[in-house]
Structure 1
Amino acid sequence: MKTLLLVHIPRTLLGLLFLVSAVDGFWFIFTGGHLINPPVSPKGHEFELALQNSGFFWPFLKTINLAGALSLILNIVPAFGLALIAPVMATIVLFHAVINPQGLPIAGILVVLGLMLVVAYRDRYAVMFR
């Protein structure tokens, strides 16, 4: 039961959040429209457009989201999947804290789920700090 609550549920939820993000991002690449439209401030919209208009960063970001999501959902090297999406999560949290406060609830969810998994996989990350 403890493993279910502290590892499997957070891993699956975080994976699903990033899978939805990846699918929506690739949908935008191929169609020019989004499947989901969360509230975004004018500055937040400018930031997103800059990433999309760079020509390279948006597909790269969504590929990282997809790889991390599948790693977590399928439980294939999930500690690596979490490490892949950790910088993305940090950017999302900062984005919502500084530019787009409407998304702070989702940022909070990312922080809680991410921290739960960092604690669960701490033995796998320990070798990086030796």
Structure 2
Amino acid sequence: MKIIMIIVRTLMGLLLLFASVSFFFKLMPMPQATGQAKVYNDGLAVVGIMNIVKVLELLCGLAFVTGRFVTLAVVVIFPILINIVLFHAVVAPSGLTSGALLLVGDLFLAYYYRRNYVSLFAIK
């Protein structure tokens, strides 16, 4: 189980690092969005939230690759992954597979580190 966790954690970290670094350094051209995807992306651009999301992806990717603060990174990246999956499920189904795999990997890591979350749910 530990080897599977290391593999999942490292692959997730590398994918998140690649996505954030390619966003900041413009390594890959962004495909032109059309229809509802363009409206969604324009709304995100007005607020400037993508920079914050990509910084969080970078930090969580580093945490996953290094193995430090993984429990925190699992919690921080979860809402971003939910957004990715919902966006691709509703608006642009082409990227649903990678988003779903990331979400499944995050849920697996949350399950693996479940003992670290026990104190969050303790009634005091």
Q: Distance in 1 between matches of 2:33 and 2:76?
A: 25
Structure 1 spans left out of the alignment, 5+ residues: 29-33
Q: Distance in 2 between matches of 1:39 and 1:118?
A: 35
What's 1:123 paired with? 115
The secondary structure found in structure 1 opposite 2:25 is helix
Structure 2 spans left out of the alignment, 5+ residues: none
- The answer to whether the 8 A contact 2:78-2:103 is kept is no
Q: Distance in 2 between matches of 1:41 and 1:120?
A: 39
The secondary structure found in structure 2 opposite 1:76 is coil
Shift of 1:44: 1.9
Aligned identity (percent) is 29
TM score, norm. by length of structure 1: 0.82
RMSD: 2.0
Q: Distance in 2 between matches of 1:120 and 1:41?
A: 39
TM score, norm. by length of structure 2: 0.86
What's 1:53 paired with? 46
Amino acid at match of 1:4: I
Q: When the two structures are aligned, how many residues end up with a matched partner? A: 122
**Structure 1: 4+ residue segments shifted above 6 A:** none
